[in-house]
Amino acid sequence: MEIENNRIAPVVTHTGGQGAPVDGQRTGGSGAPAASQYARSASDQLSLTGAARQLQGLENQIASAPVVDTKKVEAVRSAVENGTFTVHPERIAERLMSLEHALTDAR
């Protein structure tokens, strides 16, 4: 079986390192493959699947969302200031133990 290296476009076009031309590969003199070697036709197209578009939309939504839930922070702050914030020590202890077990199991 014969493998044709001249059809593989390099990732990095500078000389040396990743994407450097393989010995015997045609180059345009600058160390990069000749431009005509990778010429694109007028019919080249890119189409995204519905799932890819949905993922792209979700990524944009997440990127624009604030890191902190300001409404929840304000609610807790208000409850603390009013004296209505309730601490549940059993719940805190359970969650600390759960975290400890998860960290121990991860080792």
**Mean pLDDT over residues 9-29, rounded?**
51
pLDDT (tens digit per residue) in 56-95? 999 999 998 888 999 999 999 999 999 999 999 999 999 9
Residue 2 has pLDDT above 90, yes or no: no
Q: Which residues of 70-94 are buried (b: 16+ CB within 10 A; e: fewer)?
A: eeeeeeeeeeeeeeeeeeeeeeeee
**pLDDT score for 37:** 61
Q: What is the pTM of this model?
A: 0.35
